[in-house]
Protein backbone atom coordinates (compact mmCIF):
# COMPACT_ATOMS: atom_id res chain seq x y z
CA UNK A 1 0.00 0.00 0.00
CA UNK A 2 1.21 3.46 -0.89
CA UNK A 3 1.10 6.24 1.68
CA UNK A 4 -1.54 8.84 0.97
CA UNK A 5 -0.15 12.23 0.08
CA UNK A 6 -1.70 15.17 1.88
CA UNK A 7 -3.10 17.12 -1.05
CA UNK A 8 -5.01 19.54 1.17
CA UNK A 9 -2.92 21.01 4.03
CA UNK A 10 -6.04 22.35 5.78
CA UNK A 11 -7.72 18.96 5.89
CA UNK A 12 -5.88 17.84 9.01
CA UNK A 13 -5.44 21.28 10.59
CA UNK A 14 -6.86 21.77 14.04
CA UNK A 15 -10.04 23.73 14.60
CA UNK A 16 -8.05 26.58 16.12
CA UNK A 17 -5.90 26.80 12.99
CA UNK A 18 -8.97 26.86 10.77
CA UNK A 19 -10.62 29.58 12.87
CA UNK A 20 -7.38 31.62 12.80
CA UNK A 21 -7.28 31.30 9.02
CA UNK A 22 -10.90 32.43 8.75
CA UNK A 23 -10.13 35.39 11.03
CA UNK A 24 -7.23 36.33 8.75
CA UNK A 25 -9.55 36.24 5.74
CA UNK A 26 -12.00 38.55 7.52
CA UNK A 27 -9.15 40.97 8.36
CA UNK A 28 -8.02 40.93 4.71
CA UNK A 29 -11.57 41.76 3.57
CA UNK A 30 -11.68 44.56 6.16
CA UNK A 31 -8.43 46.03 4.82
CA UNK A 32 -9.82 45.84 1.27
CA UNK A 33 -13.01 47.60 2.39
CA UNK A 34 -10.96 50.30 4.13
CA UNK A 35 -8.99 50.95 0.93
CA UNK A 36 -12.18 51.11 -1.13
CA UNK A 37 -13.77 53.52 1.35
CA UNK A 38 -10.72 55.78 1.12
CA UNK A 39 -10.90 55.73 -2.68
CA UNK A 40 -14.61 56.58 -2.59
CA UNK A 41 -14.08 59.48 -0.21
CA UNK A 42 -11.21 60.96 -2.24
CA UNK A 43 -12.90 61.05 -5.64
CA UNK A 44 -14.03 64.40 -6.95
CA UNK A 45 -17.53 65.05 -5.68
CA UNK A 46 -18.91 67.44 -8.30
CA UNK A 47 -17.84 65.50 -11.37
CA UNK A 48 -19.45 62.24 -10.24
CA UNK A 49 -22.63 63.21 -8.44
CA UNK A 50 -24.68 60.83 -10.54
CA UNK A 51 -22.45 57.83 -9.78
CA UNK A 52 -23.57 56.79 -6.32
CA UNK A 53 -21.91 53.69 -4.91
CA UNK A 54 -24.03 50.76 -3.76
CA UNK A 55 -21.59 49.11 -1.31
CA UNK A 56 -21.56 50.45 2.27
CA UNK A 57 -17.76 50.13 2.65
CA UNK A 58 -17.68 51.53 6.19
CA UNK A 59 -20.19 48.95 7.39
CA UNK A 60 -18.31 46.15 5.59
CA UNK A 61 -15.05 47.32 7.19
CA UNK A 62 -16.48 47.48 10.70
CA UNK A 63 -18.27 44.15 10.50
CA UNK A 64 -15.29 42.29 9.05
CA UNK A 65 -12.80 43.91 11.44
CA UNK A 66 -14.88 43.01 14.50
CA UNK A 67 -15.56 39.44 13.35
CA UNK A 68 -11.96 38.87 12.25
CA UNK A 69 -10.53 40.34 15.42
CA UNK A 70 -12.81 38.22 17.56
CA UNK A 71 -11.94 35.04 15.69
CA UNK A 72 -8.22 35.76 15.93
CA UNK A 73 -8.45 36.62 19.61
CA UNK A 74 -10.20 33.34 20.34
CA UNK A 75 -8.05 31.06 18.21
CA UNK A 76 -4.49 32.38 18.31
CA UNK A 77 -3.62 31.38 21.89
CA UNK A 78 -4.65 27.80 21.18
CA UNK A 79 -3.11 27.72 17.70
CA UNK A 80 0.22 29.18 18.84
CA UNK A 81 0.76 27.53 22.20
CA UNK A 82 -0.78 24.06 21.79
CA UNK A 83 1.41 21.08 21.17
Residues in the chain: 83
Residue 1 has pLDDT above 80, yes or no: no
pLDDT in tens, 65-75: 999 999 999 99
- How far CA 45 is from CA of 32, 39, 49, 56, 69, in Å, comes to 22, 12, 6, 17, 33
User: What angle, 0 to 180 degrees and rounded to 10, lies between the N-to-C axes of helices 57-81 and 15-42?
Assistant: 150
Task: Enter the pTM of the model.
Answer: 0.77
For the chain, the structural domain boundaries read 17-42+53-81
**Mean pLDDT for the stretch of residues 26-48:** 84
pLDDT score for 74: 93
pLDDT in tens, 39-66: 887 776 656 655 667 788 899 999 999 9
Amino acid sequence: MRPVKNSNPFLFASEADQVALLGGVFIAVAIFALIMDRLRSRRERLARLDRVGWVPWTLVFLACAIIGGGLLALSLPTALFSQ
